[in-house]
Amino acid sequence: MPELPEVERARSLIAERALGRRIVAVDDSDTYVCRPHAPGELAAALVGRELVAAHRIGKSMWCETDGGPELGLHLGMAGRIVVDDASAGDPKPDGVFNPVWDRFTLEFEDGGALRLRDKRRLGRAVLDPDLSGLGPDAAEVSRDVFRARVGRGEAPLKARIMDQAVIAGVGNLLADEALWRARLDPRRPAGSLDDDELDLLRREIRAATRRAIARGGVHTGDVIPHRRRDGDCPRCGAPMRRATIGGRTTWWCSAEQGG
Protein backbone atom coordinates (compact mmCIF):
# COMPACT_ATOMS: atom_id res chain seq x y z
CA MET A 1 0.00 0.00 0.00
CA PRO A 2 1.49 3.39 -0.94
CA GLU A 3 2.56 5.46 2.05
CA LEU A 4 4.16 8.90 2.25
CA PRO A 5 7.43 7.89 0.52
CA GLU A 6 5.64 6.32 -2.45
CA VAL A 7 3.34 9.33 -2.78
CA GLU A 8 6.34 11.68 -2.67
CA ARG A 9 7.98 9.70 -5.47
CA ALA A 10 4.76 9.99 -7.48
CA ARG A 11 4.58 13.73 -6.81
CA SER A 12 8.19 14.12 -7.90
CA LEU A 13 7.45 12.25 -11.12
CA ILE A 14 4.61 14.66 -11.91
CA ALA A 15 6.83 17.65 -11.08
CA GLU A 16 9.64 16.36 -13.28
CA ARG A 17 7.68 15.17 -16.31
CA ALA A 18 4.12 16.50 -16.44
CA LEU A 19 4.29 20.24 -15.70
CA GLY A 20 3.96 22.82 -18.45
CA ARG A 21 2.29 20.41 -20.91
CA ARG A 22 -1.06 21.46 -22.35
CA ILE A 23 -3.99 19.11 -21.67
CA VAL A 24 -6.00 18.30 -24.80
CA ALA A 25 -8.21 15.44 -23.54
CA VAL A 26 -9.31 13.91 -20.24
CA ASP A 27 -10.76 10.46 -19.56
CA ASP A 28 -12.84 10.93 -16.42
CA SER A 29 -15.43 8.27 -17.22
CA ASP A 30 -14.82 6.19 -14.09
CA THR A 31 -17.55 7.57 -11.85
CA TYR A 32 -16.21 5.83 -8.73
CA VAL A 33 -12.63 7.11 -8.96
CA CYS A 34 -13.83 10.56 -10.06
CA ARG A 35 -16.70 10.87 -7.58
CA PRO A 36 -18.55 13.13 -6.90
CA HIS A 37 -17.97 14.50 -10.40
CA ALA A 38 -20.12 13.47 -13.33
CA PRO A 39 -18.39 12.18 -16.49
CA GLY A 40 -17.04 15.15 -18.43
CA GLU A 41 -16.88 17.51 -15.44
CA LEU A 42 -13.13 17.14 -14.87
CA ALA A 43 -12.55 17.29 -18.62
CA ALA A 44 -14.46 20.56 -18.93
CA ALA A 45 -12.37 22.08 -16.14
CA LEU A 46 -8.97 20.84 -17.31
CA VAL A 47 -8.85 20.69 -21.13
CA GLY A 48 -6.78 23.57 -22.48
CA ARG A 49 -4.92 24.08 -19.21
CA GLU A 50 -1.47 23.10 -17.96
CA LEU A 51 -0.34 21.64 -14.67
CA VAL A 52 2.03 24.20 -13.15
CA ALA A 53 2.96 22.77 -9.73
CA ALA A 54 2.69 19.45 -7.85
CA HIS A 55 2.23 19.35 -4.07
CA ARG A 56 1.81 16.74 -1.35
CA ILE A 57 0.71 16.56 2.27
CA GLY A 58 0.82 13.13 3.84
CA LYS A 59 -0.54 10.63 1.34
CA SER A 60 -2.52 13.22 -0.65
CA MET A 61 -1.28 15.00 -3.81
CA TRP A 62 -2.66 17.89 -5.74
CA CYS A 63 -1.63 19.85 -8.81
CA GLU A 64 -2.12 23.52 -9.53
CA THR A 65 -3.28 24.52 -13.00
CA ASP A 66 -2.76 27.76 -14.90
CA GLY A 67 -5.82 29.67 -13.81
CA GLY A 68 -8.10 26.69 -13.30
CA PRO A 69 -9.03 24.43 -10.39
CA GLU A 70 -6.61 22.28 -8.45
CA LEU A 71 -6.53 18.59 -9.36
CA GLY A 72 -6.37 16.23 -6.39
CA LEU A 73 -4.91 12.76 -6.88
CA HIS A 74 -4.86 9.93 -4.33
CA LEU A 75 -3.23 6.54 -4.89
CA GLY A 76 -5.59 4.58 -2.66
CA MET A 77 -4.21 1.14 -1.77
CA ALA A 78 -2.53 0.08 -5.02
CA GLY A 79 -2.37 3.11 -7.30
CA ARG A 80 0.48 4.40 -9.43
CA ILE A 81 1.02 7.61 -11.35
CA VAL A 82 2.23 6.95 -14.89
CA VAL A 83 3.68 9.77 -16.98
CA ASP A 84 4.53 8.61 -20.49
CA ASP A 85 6.85 5.61 -19.92
CA ALA A 86 7.70 6.26 -16.25
CA SER A 87 5.69 5.39 -13.15
CA ALA A 88 5.78 5.72 -9.36
CA GLY A 89 3.49 4.82 -6.49
CA ASP A 90 2.49 1.34 -5.36
CA PRO A 91 5.81 -0.40 -4.64
CA LYS A 92 4.58 -3.80 -5.83
CA PRO A 93 2.71 -3.29 -9.10
CA ASP A 94 1.17 -6.28 -10.84
CA GLY A 95 3.41 -7.56 -13.62
CA VAL A 96 0.45 -7.97 -15.98
CA PHE A 97 -1.19 -4.80 -17.27
CA ASN A 98 -4.89 -4.52 -18.03
CA PRO A 99 -5.93 -1.27 -19.80
CA VAL A 100 -9.02 -1.02 -17.57
CA TRP A 101 -6.68 -0.23 -14.66
CA ASP A 102 -6.08 3.24 -16.11
CA ARG A 103 -8.86 4.94 -14.14
CA PHE A 104 -8.13 8.58 -15.01
CA THR A 105 -6.05 10.03 -17.85
CA LEU A 106 -4.79 13.42 -18.95
CA GLU A 107 -3.65 13.49 -22.57
CA PHE A 108 -1.12 16.17 -23.50
CA GLU A 109 -0.75 18.19 -26.68
CA ASP A 110 2.68 16.66 -27.34
CA GLY A 111 1.24 13.13 -27.46
CA GLY A 112 2.12 11.99 -23.94
CA ALA A 113 -0.19 11.33 -21.02
CA LEU A 114 -0.52 11.23 -17.24
CA ARG A 115 -2.51 8.28 -15.89
CA LEU A 116 -3.80 7.14 -12.53
CA ARG A 117 -3.32 3.36 -12.81
CA ASP A 118 -5.10 1.43 -10.08
CA LYS A 119 -5.92 -2.28 -10.19
CA ARG A 120 -8.03 -2.08 -7.03
CA ARG A 121 -9.95 1.06 -8.08
CA LEU A 122 -9.52 2.80 -4.72
CA GLY A 123 -7.64 5.87 -5.96
CA ARG A 124 -9.26 9.25 -6.49
CA ALA A 125 -9.18 12.14 -8.94
CA VAL A 126 -11.10 15.20 -7.75
CA LEU A 127 -11.23 18.92 -8.37
CA ASP A 128 -10.27 21.29 -5.53
CA PRO A 129 -9.73 18.56 -2.90
CA ASP A 130 -10.60 19.30 0.72
CA LEU A 131 -7.44 18.66 2.77
CA SER A 132 -8.60 20.54 5.86
CA GLY A 133 -8.89 17.35 7.93
CA LEU A 134 -5.20 16.47 7.62
CA GLY A 135 -2.59 17.22 10.25
CA PRO A 136 0.84 18.61 9.37
CA ASP A 137 2.99 16.53 7.06
CA ALA A 138 4.98 13.88 8.94
CA ALA A 139 8.15 14.65 6.98
CA GLU A 140 7.97 18.39 7.67
CA VAL A 141 6.29 18.82 11.09
CA SER A 142 8.26 20.97 13.52
CA ARG A 143 9.50 19.74 16.90
CA ASP A 144 7.08 21.77 19.01
CA VAL A 145 4.05 20.94 16.87
CA PHE A 146 4.97 17.22 16.91
CA ARG A 147 5.26 17.27 20.71
CA ALA A 148 1.90 19.00 21.10
CA ARG A 149 -0.02 16.80 18.65
CA VAL A 150 1.50 13.37 19.30
CA GLY A 151 2.45 13.47 22.98
CA ARG A 152 -0.97 13.41 24.58
CA GLY A 153 -3.87 11.09 25.26
CA GLU A 154 -4.19 7.41 26.13
CA ALA A 155 -4.24 6.04 22.58
CA PRO A 156 -1.44 3.56 21.77
CA LEU A 157 1.55 5.34 20.32
CA LYS A 158 1.34 3.58 16.97
CA ALA A 159 -2.34 4.44 16.57
CA ARG A 160 -1.56 8.06 17.44
CA ILE A 161 1.13 8.56 14.80
CA MET A 162 -1.04 6.83 12.18
CA ASP A 163 -3.99 9.17 12.84
CA GLN A 164 -3.92 11.35 9.72
CA ALA A 165 -5.62 14.19 11.61
CA VAL A 166 -2.70 14.24 14.06
CA ILE A 167 0.16 14.02 11.56
CA ALA A 168 -0.33 13.13 7.91
CA GLY A 169 1.52 10.44 6.01
CA VAL A 170 2.52 7.67 8.44
CA GLY A 171 1.15 4.31 7.38
CA ASN A 172 1.48 0.84 8.83
CA LEU A 173 4.97 -0.08 7.62
CA LEU A 174 6.48 3.36 8.16
CA ALA A 175 5.11 3.37 11.73
CA ASP A 176 6.66 -0.01 12.53
CA GLU A 177 9.99 1.02 10.99
CA ALA A 178 10.17 4.36 12.84
CA LEU A 179 9.13 2.90 16.20
CA TRP A 180 11.70 0.12 15.81
CA ARG A 181 14.41 2.63 14.97
CA ALA A 182 13.44 4.68 18.04
CA ARG A 183 13.20 1.56 20.26
CA LEU A 184 9.73 2.59 21.43
CA ASP A 185 6.90 0.24 22.38
CA PRO A 186 3.99 0.76 19.93
CA ARG A 187 1.52 -0.11 22.73
CA ARG A 188 2.54 2.70 25.08
CA PRO A 189 0.03 5.47 25.69
CA ALA A 190 1.12 8.39 23.52
CA GLY A 191 0.79 10.77 26.45
CA SER A 192 3.38 8.83 28.47
CA LEU A 193 6.30 9.89 26.27
CA ASP A 194 8.58 12.64 27.51
CA ASP A 195 9.95 15.38 25.26
CA ASP A 196 13.21 13.55 24.57
CA GLU A 197 11.33 10.44 23.42
CA LEU A 198 9.00 12.50 21.25
CA ASP A 199 11.94 14.32 19.68
CA LEU A 200 13.65 11.00 18.96
CA LEU A 201 10.49 9.59 17.38
CA ARG A 202 10.10 12.65 15.17
CA ARG A 203 13.69 12.32 13.98
CA GLU A 204 13.27 8.64 13.25
CA ILE A 205 10.03 9.16 11.30
CA ARG A 206 11.82 11.74 9.18
CA ALA A 207 14.89 9.52 8.76
CA ALA A 208 12.81 6.46 7.85
CA THR A 209 10.87 8.55 5.34
CA ARG A 210 14.05 9.86 3.67
CA ARG A 211 15.53 6.37 3.44
CA ALA A 212 12.33 4.93 1.99
CA ILE A 213 12.14 7.65 -0.66
CA ALA A 214 15.77 7.03 -1.63
CA ARG A 215 15.43 3.24 -1.65
CA GLY A 216 12.12 3.04 -3.52
CA GLY A 217 9.42 2.66 -0.87
CA VAL A 218 8.54 1.71 2.70
CA HIS A 219 8.95 -2.00 1.91
CA THR A 220 12.74 -1.40 1.87
CA GLY A 221 12.89 -0.58 5.61
CA ASP A 222 15.43 -2.45 7.72
CA VAL A 223 12.90 -4.19 9.96
CA ILE A 224 10.21 -4.80 7.34
CA PRO A 225 11.50 -8.21 6.09
CA HIS A 226 11.49 -9.42 9.71
CA ARG A 227 7.78 -8.72 10.26
CA ARG A 228 6.83 -12.42 10.21
CA ARG A 229 6.03 -15.20 12.65
CA ASP A 230 9.56 -16.59 12.75
CA GLY A 231 11.19 -13.17 12.48
CA ASP A 232 14.01 -11.93 14.69
CA CYS A 233 15.07 -8.35 15.32
CA PRO A 234 17.80 -7.50 12.78
CA ARG A 235 19.55 -5.36 15.41
CA CYS A 236 19.70 -7.62 18.47
CA GLY A 237 18.34 -11.00 17.33
CA ALA A 238 15.42 -11.15 19.80
CA PRO A 239 12.10 -12.56 18.56
CA MET A 240 9.67 -10.16 16.95
CA ARG A 241 6.27 -9.76 18.63
CA ARG A 242 2.93 -9.26 16.89
CA ALA A 243 -0.41 -7.70 17.85
CA THR A 244 -3.21 -5.65 16.35
CA ILE A 245 -2.95 -1.97 17.30
CA GLY A 246 -5.30 0.65 15.92
CA GLY A 247 -6.79 -2.00 13.67
CA ARG A 248 -3.44 -2.74 12.00
CA THR A 249 -1.06 -5.68 12.31
CA THR A 250 1.95 -4.47 14.28
CA TRP A 251 5.41 -5.97 14.81
CA TRP A 252 8.10 -4.93 17.30
CA CYS A 253 11.28 -6.23 18.97
CA SER A 254 10.48 -8.16 22.15
CA ALA A 255 13.76 -7.07 23.81
CA GLU A 256 14.27 -3.46 22.77
CA GLN A 257 10.65 -2.34 22.48
CA GLY A 258 8.90 -4.42 25.13
CA GLY A 259 8.04 -8.10 25.61
Kindly list the catalytic residues.
2-3, 59, 248
SS3 content of the chain, % helix, strand, coil (to 5): 30, 25, 45
Q: Is 51 in contact with 71 (CB distance < 8 Å)?
A: yes
- In 3D space, the residue among 73, 76, 68, 77 whose CA is nearest the CA of residue 114 turns out to be 73
Distance in angstroms (rounded) separating the CA atoms of residues 222 and 235: 9
The Cα-based distances of 165 to 52, 160, 168, 179, 209 in angstroms read 28, 9, 7, 19, 19
